[in-house]
């Protein structure tokens, strides 16, 4: 994008358009996929096009969108979090047990999670260990903690959390509001704040960031802290919908969030954060599940259909990227 370092002239309109297309096209493709899935769903079930219909359809996407924003931030510094699924599950467990019985202790535990994530960020940066393995190890820890607190699904979410889940305005689908807020939050952090710029710099060129005098460790730690806060929010939202705790309730989030970020134009090498794309990816994945149950596909075939659709969208993304670049 910065050809200006070589020639002082600004890139012409055509180059800029091309760059925009290259950068925007992945998310665009996810948008198309989402619209198609939505259209098929509406054709099958016209009732969706009402506020309650949309509410039901988008509800399951809310926690996923929040967790995806967290994954997006972590992937923007070049890491991957394989512990998100069980951590979201663990937060629902905390919400349905400790947060209900002794709120202060519950908040304390949630605070410890944030501190743990800060420590993870520091370890990954200081010791240069792969984030995949560290977070994989942590996923065992969250799973174990969840089982310790609540061996079988159950418990009850506190009243204020259930109230959030019950909030149903007539003029707008409540999940849409949450999704927009989450996206806006992700956008503000990743694209508008100085910290977001540092995160992306850490992902694309840590040496440069360090030469500019920024602390790599602090950047990574802050990234992990914000990600932890978003993951906790995702867990609380999930608990507000299910009104109970289950350590396994979000175990598929780990890979779903990664798939959503990639679907929305992100990459594994870091340096890129596309909050809108990530949201589109997450909503697309969430809608696939809803659609498949709407069209009465046999439940055994649902996961296969999900896998094939993810592959198809990603294949489309690769093909369009190649077409635009050439």
Nearest residue to 79 via CA among 240, 241, 268: 268
We find the least distance from the C-beta atom of residue 53 to other proteins, in angstroms, to be 27
Residue 48 or 134: the one with the smaller Cβ distance to other proteins is 134
2 contributes a contact to other proteins by CB under 8 A: no
Taking residues 259 to 288 in sequence order and writing x for each that binds other proteins by CB under 8 A, - otherwise, the string is x--x----xxxx------------------
> Which one of the spans 13-21, 62-70, 142-150, 181-189 is the region binding other proteins (CB under 8 A)?
142-150
The tokens for 25 are 């096209």
Distances (CA, A) of 274 to 23, 27, 80, 200, 324: 9, 8, 15, 11, 19
**Residues in binding contact with other proteins, number by CB under 8 A:** 55
52 contributes a contact to other proteins by CB under 8 A: no
326 contributes a contact to other proteins by CB under 8 A: no
Among the listed residues 20, 102, 148, 193, the single contact to other proteins using CB under 8 A: 148
299 contributes a contact to other proteins by CB under 8 A: yes
Among the listed residues 30, 125, 241, 244, the single contact to other proteins using CB under 8 A: 125
Which residues, 6 or more positions from 249, have their beta carbon under 8 angstroms from its beta carbon?
Answer: 88, 89, 92, 153, 238, 242
Cβ–Cβ under 8 Å, residues 308 and 33: no
Residues between 66 and 105 with contacts to other proteins, criterion CB under 8 A: 78, 80
> Which one of the spans 13-21, 106-114, 221-229, 312-320 is the region binding other proteins (CB under 8 A)?
312-320
137 contributes a contact to other proteins by CB under 8 A: yes
We find the least distance from the C-beta atom of residue 249 to other proteins, in angstroms, to be 15
> Which one of the spans 19-27, 34-42, 120-128, 224-232 is the region binding other proteins (CB under 8 A)?
120-128
Distance CA 59, CA 176 (A): 8
The tokens for 136 are 């994989």
We find the least distance from the C-beta atom of residue 306 to other proteins, in angstroms, to be 5
Phi, psi (degrees; rounded to nearest 5) at 194: -65, -35
Taking residues 149 to 168 in sequence order and writing x for each that binds other proteins by CB under 8 A, - otherwise, the string is x-x-----------------
Interface contacts to other proteins, rule CB under 8 A:
78, 80, 123, 125-130, 132-134, 136-149, 151, 206-207, 210, 216-217, 255, 258-259, 262, 267-270, 299-308, 310-311, 314-315, 318
């Amino acid at each position: 994008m910065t050809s200006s370092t070589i020639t002082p002239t600004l890139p012409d309109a055509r180059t800029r358009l091309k760059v925009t297309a290259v950068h925007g096209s992945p998310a665009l493709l996810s948008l198309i996929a989402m619209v198609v899935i939505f259209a098929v769903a509406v054709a099958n079930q016209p009732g969706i096009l009402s506020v309650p219909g949309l509410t039901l359809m988008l509800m399951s996407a809310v926690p996923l969108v929040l967790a995806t924003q967290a994954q997006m931030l972590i992937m923007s510094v070049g890491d991957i979090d394989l512990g998100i699924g069980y951590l979201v599950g663990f937060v629902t467990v905390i919400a349905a047990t400790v947060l209900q019985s002794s709120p202060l202790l519950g908040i304390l535990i949630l605070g410890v999670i944030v501190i743990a994530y800060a420590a993870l960020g520091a370890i990954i940066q200081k010791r240069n260990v792969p984030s995949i393995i560290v977070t994989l190890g942590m996923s065992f820890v969250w799973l174990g903690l969840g089982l310790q607190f609540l061996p079988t699904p159950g418990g009850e979410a506190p009243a204020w959390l259930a109230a959030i889940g019950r909030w149903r305005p007539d003029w707008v689908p409540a999940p849409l509001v949450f999704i927009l807020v989450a996206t806006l939050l992700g956008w503000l952090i990743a694209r508008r704040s100085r910290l977001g710029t540092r995160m992306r710099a850490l992902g694309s060129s840590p040496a440069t960031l360090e030469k500019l005098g920024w602390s790599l460790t602090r950047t990574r730690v802050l990234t992990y802290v914000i990600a932890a806060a978003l993951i906790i929010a995702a867990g609380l939202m999930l608990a507000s919908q299910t009104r109970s705790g289950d350590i396994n309730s979000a175990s598929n989030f780990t890979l779903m969030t990664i798939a959503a970020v990639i679907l929305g134009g992100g990459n594994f090498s870091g340096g890129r954060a596309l909050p809108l794309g990530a949201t589109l990816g997450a909503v697309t994945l969430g809608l696939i599940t809803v659609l498949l149950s709407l069209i009465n596909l046999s439940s055994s075939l649902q996961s296969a259909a999900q896998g094939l659709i993810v592959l198809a969208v990603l294949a489309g993304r690769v093909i369009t990227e190649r077409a635009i670049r050439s």
